[in-house]
Structure 1
Amino acid sequence: SEENIVTVRVIDWDHPDRNDFFLASQFWISGEIYKRRADLVGFVNGLPLVFIELKASHKRLENAFRDNLRDYKTAIPQLFWYNAFIILSNGSASKIGSLSSCWEHFAEWKKINSEGERGAVSLETMIRGTCAPARLLDLVENFTLFVEERGGTIKLIAKNHQYLGVNNAFRALTPGPSPAHGRGEKGGRLGVFWHTQGSGKSYSMIFFSQKVLRKLPGNWTFVIVTDRQELDQQIYRNFASAGAVTEPESRVRAGSGEQLRQLLGEDHRYLFTLIQKFHTDRGETYPRLSDRRDIIVMTDEAHRSQYDIFALNMRNALPNAAFIGFTGTPLMAGEEKTRAVFGDYVSIYNFKQSVDDNATVPLYYENRIPELQLTNPNLNADMATVLEEAELDEAQEVRLEREFAREYHLITRVDRLGAIAADIVSHFTGRGFAGKAMVVCVDKATAVRMYDKVQAAWARRIAEMEARLLTCDPMTRPGLEAQIATLRSTDMAVVVSQGQNEIEDMAAPGLDIRPHRLRMVKEDLATKFKDPDDPFRLVFVCAMWMTGFDAPACSTIYLDKPMRNHTLMQTIARANRVFGDKVNGLIVDYIGVFRNLQAALAIYGSASGGGVAAGDLPVQAKSALLAQLGQAIGAATAHCIGMGVDLAAIRDAVDEFRRIAALDDAVEALIANDAAKLRYLSLAADVARLYRAILPDPTANQYNTQRALFAILADKIRALAPVPDLSSVMDAVNDLLDDSIKPDGYVIRATAASVQEAGAGLPDHVLDLSKLDLDALQRRFAQGRKRIEAEKLRGALNARLVRLVRLNRNRMDYLRQFQAMIDEYNTGAANVETFFANLVAFAQGLDAEEQRSIAENLSEEELALFDLLTRPTVELTQAETREVKRVARELLQTLKAERLVLDWRKRQQARAAVKLAIEEALDRGLPLEYTPELFRKKCEAVYLHVYDSYYGVGRSLYALAA
């Protein structure tokens, strides 16, 4: 008979209603060692595609990631084998990310659809926007990428703006009934896709093309057009690293129009070329390259000046193709040729939306123009016209020097460059956030000279700090040593394009480019600069790395080159990527680019959709950041006053002991409940982040005392927890590196309580319940700060309870009782006196529970089995109870000696042997009161307990706890 091959698909991507969607709540999963319960798991045809972790509305959402999700990925990794995406929410705030996303790349989902529909709360918007059947399958099929990066593969899930924008572009292509899609009224003009720099534009290009290839019939070819060799190579690498392009670069890059014609006649999904290949001499018409109707031309930065020259040539070459332009900045009024080729906006995601969504960080500028002023107030605009091309060829450099001889001489004067170099070193080493930095110079020779000047100033800085080290006091010494170590380890390099005769040309003004060119040729400097852990922290450029270069750890741009509009935005956007604790990107302006912000960014005042309010430009004066710090301090102060904290009493205390007492009083007030405590810690963290972002600006000094006070209070609150808050470690490191954040009078070595009780041997912030005298604790409560004492006891009980429940899950009732007490206190149903009394009674109950194994003459692990067999209550005589204890002991001995072999849980035969041993032992030893149904349930419960707790050959939960 004839063989028929049938493809069976696990998921029907085209018909969502033909799939089975199931949401499991409180879903238990057993890992190799641990057992965990997930809040919500979304299944599609039995595959766990969606993981949802929920927190209480008053809890910090970040805890869902740092505590719960990280634990789940380690304890029950098999739950994530098929995971599509992860949702974290506390109801009012929700974020989505992939299995490999770090916290800063979890993103909000603010709109359900392109019309801007939103739910009543964040979680509703997230669920409806991502988990509706059709949208869920669309996200999994078309908006998920696996990207090869340094250190391994990462999984990317589209952000809200990418999902909506790409689907808008996809719909623009699909009104037609055949591969002539989109050729109707729009004439193949799919539109301009304006998503601001740093928001993932290159990945949006991949999402769009991959969805077209998957969902629309036809033999589609995408021609990706850029205007620079460097950008062309970068965009190929992006597509290749995501697996979209599998062919070698040499086989898919068109070096000429004729080669593009040849490649379009072959079978390629993607082709790459430069816009300059569409050049014609004056009066000539560009020849037709292909009549195919299944070609889509995607251009990156579709509005630069050369597109006006070559855009219509692309249309002549590919008359039946569809065109879409991707750009990071808006179209300007007058760019009509761009609009004629691509159409109007198909999707807009501007800088303000990007910052509001935390897709990028805000940019601020700081004018640090040296005293040597430039005489021509229009210099920036005039020179920017000549510098519009990112890379100057030799003729253009000659033109620059000829037309702007006086201004060029002023910009490149040795004394001016020396002053700027010294300021760069001072600024770079004094920043609060120690990100990487770029120095942007007017040309290649100046970049090399600036490198030499900075190196000399750097050496002087190290010598000055080493001299200070000889006379500094012990408190500032660690910070100074750390700064010196960072300075000594910092690597810097020049990155500029190659040119003919560059060695001789550079030698004329006394410069040596050979060592720099050697590094550029032999080392992968781009990868080093992108690596946040690599000591290559400072790069000198004039045009390279200004577009298509993504280094999230870069936080500062030192700008000494006339720029405006598109080129300016592309340059400064190198600092707007999200990274770790980076609050913002900073542009330090030495040339006066931002003297007239509206003129420099006239592009954003255009009438083509880019117009914005004056205060909403993509880069703001640094004074706005200082204002934010003032607002943050005001909010923290208002919260303290509202909680009854007397900040003046702390500041004005006449001696150290009174100041310590006032600090303890403040902590007592701030921890009135969990919501108040977390609110204060959040406000204090905002103050600390903004303060570091402003450094080394001396205007920050006016807030230094207040900032230090808020930091001390936050540290004292964290110290009440028995386990350190690791998220604050980076703050401590930053504090160590900055001498200025330790003002006089705020060095706290001990608290009043610790001074009074040091002789009694009682620890100040951690209680050891095994050695605790509850009577003494109650006396301290009555005489001291009640909330602080209650917080200490609560933290100690929590740590103890977690350990007890892990060893015996029959103690879950204790955990529920403990949480009920906390909830009652947080809602105000119980005052602090009642809460403390309840905690003391609870501690006494835990004492009894912890001693129960001794009273029952059982070990801790035997007691866990005994509880499983007797709870819920089974009516047994004393003799029958002794018999059940014997069964628990003997079963455990048998399993350990004979059945719990290496990797027993992974082998079906070994698992069956364990089940059989349990059934035989219980059948022999359990009294007749155990009915057949109860016997079956006990066998299942014991097996699950053994599976969760014993890993084979002496490895078990109890061995780890010993």
Structure 2
Amino acid sequence: MTRITEHSIESFAIELLDKLGYEYIYAPNIAPDGETPERETYEQVLLIERLQNAVKRINKSIPADAQAEAIKEIQRIASPELLANNEAFHRLLTEGISVSKRVDGDDRGDRVWLIDFKNPYNNDFVVANQFTVVENNNNKRPDVILFVNGIPLVVIELKNAADENATINSAFKQIETYKSIIPTLFTFNGFVVISDGLETKAGSISAGFSRFMAWKSADGKAEASHLVSQLETLILGMLNKETLIDLIRHFIVFEKSKREDPETGIITITTVKKLAAYHQFYAVNRAVESTLRASGFSIEKETPLSMVMESPESYGVPGVKKQPIGDRKGGVVWHTQGSGKSLSMVFYTGKIVLAMENPTIVVITDRNDLDDQLFDTFAASKQLLRQEPVQAEDRNQLKELLKVGSGGVVFTTI
């Protein structure tokens, strides 16, 4: 009988990622003192040359000096707060980096993109193991890191299930240690994956252990068999190129909430980084696809590669193939209690705003308390929505808010 070891779990993960089209690199080879160095120091966590090449490839109309300035801007992120750094980077990554360029003697504003979100395959995907990072004389070596265009977007920590002391919880604790000792690596992090070879879960850098969740489908059509390892399902379902790029762009939110100390009156604002669960990801993509068809918008616009294009028939329910394009019947997303309905609506709104070039979204509820609760969730997620939601106080205000040509997220009760 073959004994499971941490090394064999690592090799299995790398093999799966290799099949998904990632380039495998043994990190000591690209270390400053390696055979083919790609880092100047062990403190450097970005693979700069890969990032420069990607920025040049994706932003052909931007001059070289503006491209270089954009890369410098992400290297300058240096708040003492890890989550603040991560949020600042995520904003630049998903909204583009503002730069100035000369056109016919005039200065014009433009944006530099670090990732090609429109074409996931135009990016450089690397899986590296044993990547040593030194910070403040502390030396740490995460198991596996996924780089996209030289940016360390995913950190994977693996433990050996055969060792009773090495549980998935100890993988989580190891990540917590990395966050405190080599925080620079996590400035650029999209999310974290922890596994003991049997259980595998993903979560954000602000998530507690209980918030890490399994990815239960490799293709979005059906839940994976219990006979297939969770590690394999997560890698195939969540870390394939299209899904990873889609998750980073549309399915991460930094939720803000205020809390007032009743004694001192001091208000503190806390930020939580939230990542969509697998059912939210697939449901939102189906809802966006159905909305584009029902609105007729999809006729003129090409559906993005990352959109899940599975018909409802595969679920044993009536499909929409016979429904005419532009019939304005988008459909219903059926939820269970506690499945994260509010966040699913936020993710849907954030994605449809971009897909349909800033339509007006009206959110209708049947209770004031539900209206307030949902509004608070949307108001806490302004970055993803790219605008401030508004709550209509009465019919007249609602009519005024709906007079706009396009844009706006408006809340009202029936």
Sort the TM-score into its range (normalised by shorter chain).
0.5 to 0.7
Q: Which residue, out of 57, 77, 81, partners 2:183? A: 77
Letter in 1 for 2:335: H
Q: Helix, strand or coil for the counterpart of 1:111?
A: coil
Name the structure 2 match of 1:51: 155
Structure 1 distance, partners of 2:397, 2:270, is: 35
Q: Helix, strand or coil for the counterpart of 1:192?
A: coil
Contact 1:92/1:121 (CA < 8 Å) preserved in 2?
A: yes
Contact 1:240/1:246 (CA < 8 Å) preserved in 2?
A: no
- Cα distance, 1:248 vs structure 2: 7.1
Q: Which residue, out of 169, 172, 189, partners 2:290? A: 172
Name the structure 2 match of 1:264: 402
Structure 1 distance, partners of 2:368, 2:219, is: 37
1:135-214 equivalences in 2 (<5 Å)? 135-149=243-257, 150=259, 152-175=270-293, 176-178=298-300, 184=324, 187-214=327-354
> Aligned pair in 2 of structure 1 residues 114, 241: CA closer, same or farther (>3 Å)?
same
- Cα distance, 1:117 vs structure 2: 5.9
Name the structure 2 match of 1:525: none
Q: Which residue, out of 194, 197, 201, partners 1:95? A: 201
Structure 1 distance, partners of 2:181, 2:140, is: 7
Contact 2:158/2:195 (CA < 8 Å) preserved in 1?
A: yes
> Aligned pair in 2 of structure 1 residues 13, 56: CA closer, same or farther (>3 Å)?
same
The superposition leaves residues 791-829 of structure 1 with CA deviations (integer Å, 9 ceiling, x where unpaired) of xxxxxxxxxxxxxxxxxxxxxxxxxxxxxxxxxxxxxxx
- Cα distance, 1:269 vs structure 2: 1.9
Contact 1:254/1:272 (CA < 8 Å) preserved in 2?
A: no
Contact 2:378/2:389 (CA < 8 Å) preserved in 1?
A: no
1:540-559 equivalences in 2 (<5 Å)? none
- Cα distance, 1:245 vs structure 2: 7.2
Contact 2:389/2:409 (CA < 8 Å) preserved in 1?
A: no
Structure 2 distance, partners of 1:162, 1:51, is: 22
- Cα distance, 1:93 vs structure 2: 1.0
Q: Helix, strand or coil for the counterpart of 1:211?
A: helix
> Aligned pair in 2 of structure 1 residues 94, 137: CA closer, same or farther (>3 Å)?
same
TM-score, normalising length: structure 2: 0.61
The superposition leaves residues 112-156 of structure 1 with CA deviations (integer Å, 9 ceiling, x where unpaired) of 222116383211111111111110010000000000135610100
Structure 2 distance, partners of 1:74, 1:156, is: 20
- Cα distance, 1:82 vs structure 2: 0.9
- Cα distance, 1:32 vs structure 2: 1.6
The superposition leaves residues 252-301 of structure 1 with CA deviations (integer Å, 9 ceiling, x where unpaired) of 41511x433321112542011111xxxxxxxxxxxxxxxxxxxxxxxxxx
The superposition leaves residues 397-430 of structure 1 with CA deviations (integer Å, 9 ceiling, x where unpaired) of xxxxxxxxxxxxxxxxxxxxxxxxxxxxxxxxxx
Letter in 2 for 1:193: V
- Cα distance, 1:171 vs structure 2: 1.5
Contact 2:217/2:237 (CA < 8 Å) preserved in 1?
A: yes
> Aligned pair in 2 of structure 1 residues 191, 217: CA closer, same or farther (>3 Å)?
closer
The superposition leaves residues 432-481 of structure 1 with CA deviations (integer Å, 9 ceiling, x where unpaired) of xxxxxxxxxxxxxxxxxxxxxxxxxxxxxxxxxxxxxxxxxxxxxxxxxx
Name the structure 2 match of 1:273: 412
1:808-957 equivalences in 2 (<5 Å)? none
Letter in 2 for 1:10: L
Letter in 2 for 1:30: V
Structure 2 distance, partners of 1:237, 1:268, is: 19
1:113-132 equivalences in 2 (<5 Å)? 113-116=219-222, 118=224, 120-132=228-240
Structure 2 distance, partners of 1:147, 1:7, is: 25
Name the structure 1 match of 2:192: 86
1:341-360 equivalences in 2 (<5 Å)? none
Letter in 2 for 1:61: I
Name the structure 1 match of 2:134: 30
> Aligned pair in 2 of structure 1 residues 231, 174: CA closer, same or farther (>3 Å)?
same
Name the structure 1 match of 2:114: 10
Q: Which residue, out of 50, 61, 78, partners 2:168? A: 61
Contact 2:145/2:155 (CA < 8 Å) preserved in 1?
A: yes
Q: Which runs of 5+ in 1 are unaligned?
A: 276-962
The superposition leaves residues 48-106 of structure 1 with CA deviations (integer Å, 9 ceiling, x where unpaired) of 1001000112232111112x111111110011001001000122210000000000000
CA RMSD of superposed structures (Å): 2.3
Letter in 1 for 2:288: F
> Aligned pair in 2 of structure 1 residues 248, 211: CA closer, same or farther (>3 Å)?
closer
TM-score, normalising length: structure 1: 0.27
Contact 2:389/2:410 (CA < 8 Å) preserved in 1?
A: no
Structure 2 distance, partners of 1:260, 1:5, is: 35
Contact 2:350/2:386 (CA < 8 Å) preserved in 1?
A: no
How many residue pairs get aligned? The number is 269
1:632-651 equivalences in 2 (<5 Å)? none
Contact 1:113/1:164 (CA < 8 Å) preserved in 2?
A: no
> Aligned pair in 2 of structure 1 residues 218, 254: CA closer, same or farther (>3 Å)?
farther
Contact 1:111/1:125 (CA < 8 Å) preserved in 2?
A: yes
1:216-235 equivalences in 2 (<5 Å)? 216-235=355-374
The superposition leaves residues 152-195 of structure 1 with CA deviations (integer Å, 9 ceiling, x where unpaired) of 1010000111111111111212333148x998358222222122
> Aligned pair in 2 of structure 1 residues 245, 141: CA closer, same or farther (>3 Å)?
closer
Q: Which residue, out of 104, 109, 119, partners 2:215? A: 109
> Aligned pair in 2 of structure 1 residues 231, 50: CA closer, same or farther (>3 Å)?
same
- Cα distance, 1:45 vs structure 2: 0.8
Structure 2 distance, partners of 1:140, 1:24, is: 19
Structure 2 distance, partners of 1:93, 1:127, is: 13
> Aligned pair in 2 of structure 1 residues 192, 41: CA closer, same or farther (>3 Å)?
same
> Aligned pair in 2 of structure 1 residues 156, 248: CA closer, same or farther (>3 Å)?
closer
Structure 2 distance, partners of 1:57, 1:160, is: 24
Q: Helix, strand or coil for the counterpart of 2:352?
A: helix
Q: Which protein has greater RCO, CA pairs closer than 8 Å, 6+ apart?
A: 2
> Aligned pair in 2 of structure 1 residues 14, 260: CA closer, same or farther (>3 Å)?
same
Contact 2:387/2:408 (CA < 8 Å) preserved in 1?
A: no
Name the structure 2 match of 1:610: none
Name the structure 1 match of 2:68: none
Structure 1 distance, partners of 2:412, 2:335, is: 22
> Aligned pair in 2 of structure 1 residues 248, 125: CA closer, same or farther (>3 Å)?
closer
Q: Helix, strand or coil for the counterpart of 2:197?
A: coil
The superposition leaves residues 555-605 of structure 1 with CA deviations (integer Å, 9 ceiling, x where unpaired) of xxxxxxxxxxxxxxxxxxxxxxxxxxxxxxxxxxxxxxxxxxxxxxxxxxx
**Which structure is higher in strand share?**
2
Contact 1:226/1:232 (CA < 8 Å) preserved in 2?
A: yes
Name the structure 1 match of 2:30: none
1:390-539 equivalences in 2 (<5 Å)? none
Letter in 1 for 2:299: P
Letter in 1 for 2:352: V
Q: Helix, strand or coil for the counterpart of 1:129?
A: helix
Contact 1:245/1:270 (CA < 8 Å) preserved in 2?
A: no
> Aligned pair in 2 of structure 1 residues 254, 187: CA closer, same or farther (>3 Å)?
farther
Contact 1:92/1:123 (CA < 8 Å) preserved in 2?
A: yes
**Structure whose CA Rg is larger:** 1
Structure 2 distance, partners of 1:45, 1:164, is: 25
Structure 2 distance, partners of 1:222, 1:156, is: 22
Structure 1 distance, partners of 2:125, 2:393, is: 46
Q: Helix, strand or coil for the counterpart of 1:213?
A: helix
Q: Helix, strand or coil for the counterpart of 1:87?
A: strand
Structure 1 distance, partners of 2:358, 2:229, is: 43
